[in-house]
Amino acid sequence: MNKSLADLIKVSNAAGKDPSFVQGGGGNTSVKTEDGKYMYIKASGTALKFMSPKKGWRRIELAPVFGMMKDAKLPKMPPNTREPEVVNRLLAACDDNATDGSRPSVEAHLHAFLGKSVIHLHPSSVGAYVNAKKGKAKLERLFKNMKKPFLWVPCADPGYMLAKKIISLTTKYQAQYRTKPQVLFLEKHGLFISTNSPASALSLTRKVIKKCDEKLKQPSTKNGKPATLQQIQDASLCIRKAHFDASGEYGTVTFFTDDMIASFVRKSENKRLLKGVLTPDELIYSNGPALWVEKLDANKITAKINSMVAKGEKPPVAFLVKGLGLFVAGKKKMAPTVYEIVTSSLFIRTNADKMGGVSALNKRQKDFIDKWESEAFRKALAAGAGAGDLQGRIAVVTGAGSGIGKSIAIGLARAGAMVALADIDEKAAIEAQHQIQNELPGSHTAVIKCNVTDESNVEAGFARIVDSFGGLDILVNAAGMAPAGALVDMEASKWRFANEVNLTGYFLMAKYAARTMIKQGIGGNIVTISSKSGLDASKNNTPYNAAKAGQIHMSRGWAMELGQFGIRVNSICPGNVFEGSKIWNPEYIKICAKKYGIKPKEVIPFYISKTILNKEIFGQDIANSVVFLASEKARMITGQTLVVDGGQVMVR
């Protein structure tokens, strides 16, 4: 590996793993080659700590970059034309074999004109000064003993105009001091460190951040009584409803707290500090400052969001609830990034307030960032692709460790849902979870060990689901058992156990799912996996026949009860699904063979031949039906029974 690239990876990983350096994964780094012809630079949207020799960087030929910055036509172009042109030229200057669609950092042209090794970060300790009205004066006093002074860069639009400003200022600096600046403080932006080696750049970065941090107020570690799990869950459901009602978007709600957040939410007077946008990261990733929530009232929160949107502001995704903490709504993947940005923002605001007040972005600056394609690209990379009819929905599937339940869990994840896999067999559920994660690396799942016949177990399971995802949209009751045998030989204990799992289990799961959905207040879906045997009885199957018929009738009653809350309830009656089934075990197959007077190996072909389509039914066929019923495509369907059996039982 090229030494310059090795140096870049080393310094980037070191910086990216230091929480005092990086918040929200922001920042970029570069190292130039010894001959000065090329520059290795972090790729846009890549977190510094995840850079590796194989990905997360681009190599740029510097001559085209220098030429671009001398092009007299670019400054005359309107921003919406110029910025994409600059991005394309930077991409064209790349001289490597990358095929993953990655782009060099949007500040690559700026790095090109600085030292051999450059580190650009947005540390909270630096942000306190560069976002304060009297921050520059404070920095001048703080660093008055530097051999060469730092360079203060007045606020400029990120991208091309910032690069032009820094080039102009560094040229003047170099003429005066006969060297390029090593420390650059960018107003309303962050910190640049520029030296002749990665090691010295990293060392100087640490010194500057430590120096800035020395005079700042740190959050209190004494923050009163912590929030209870019930308070957190109630707040999550309330905020999810408000976010949904205002945006129409499904998503998770994730709770965070730390010393900074706990200190801030203790006092109502702190909400005055939540005015104005500090940085591009705060605007792009958290849609501006967090919204202060004094009382948990979903309708009032929704009204506040709508009022903000009407004024041209973005709907917030971060909510600071008095006395509780931070709640982040939206994509689960983005929640940790938003948390880091909010925590950093609170620290900056608290300290900047003591330095003449917060200096926020003005409307023109915010509008530029909102329309800047480069930031939209960076956010899209961080958030990951979103697709599927159930994007952002939260689902729980019982019996998800095997058979139809497992297929349904996989199908829901493929449709974009976040899935809690509930099963008494935790090992099987974990294996199913791994299968989902291997196929869909960006998916979000949770394993819930749950005995559906135990009410306290079920209640605890739903508490975990709300704790993990912040709400619930879909319940699929798929756990079941089918003890086969003639009526005269059937043991009463088998009858009772079958009904405990197939009826009591469905009842308990539906009970607590309905409670959660009603409390949340944005509707929901309950899908009951019954069977064709619930419509057309099968021989030697008394417990199964009774339970499956009962499931359908229970579901019809639930549909009548829950419709007023926007909760739809439907049943699916699958035919025989052999794939991965625990029901179709060797013993059960022997019973079926005896029932029809055939050999065990003939049982499955025999059952397939009983369908009109003469095709085997697979788990994905059932999953597809579940996805349909839980989607908006079925928004007017409730209390109904969908038969997926290849044409064996016809509902009349």
| DSSP per-residue letters across 566-578 | TEEEEEEEE--B-
φ and ψ at residue 145, rounded to 5 degrees: -95, 10
How far is residue 71's CA from residue 93's CA, in Å, rounded to a whole number?
Answer: 15
Geometric angle at alpha carbon 299, from 296 and 300, rounded to 5°: 65
Asked whether 313 and 289 are in contact (CB, 8 A), the reply is: no
Q: Which long-range contacts (CB under 8 A, 24 or more apart) does 179-182 make?
A: 179/148, 180/114, 180/115, 181/148, 181/150, 181/151, 182/115, 182/148, 182/150
**Partners of 118 in the β-ladder:** 30, 194
Burial-class residue 432 by CB neighbours within 10 Å (0-12, 13-18, 19+): buried
The position carrying tokens 């023109």 is 364
Q: Which of 285, 544, 588, 596 is catalytic?
A: 544
Burial-class residue 1 by CB neighbours within 10 Å (0-12, 13-18, 19+): exposed
Kindly state the DSSP code that residue 104 receives in the 8-state scheme: B
Helix (H) or strand (E) holding 395: strand 394-398
How far is residue 173's CA from residue 153's CA, in Å, rounded to a whole number?
Answer: 12
Asked whether 324 and 265 are in contact (CB, 8 A), the reply is: yes
* Of 433, 394, 446, 401, residue with least CA distance to 416: 394
Is 544 marked active-site? yes
The 3-state DSSP class for residue 57 equals strand
Asked whether 53 and 9 are in contact (CB, 8 A), the reply is: yes
Active site amino acids:
544
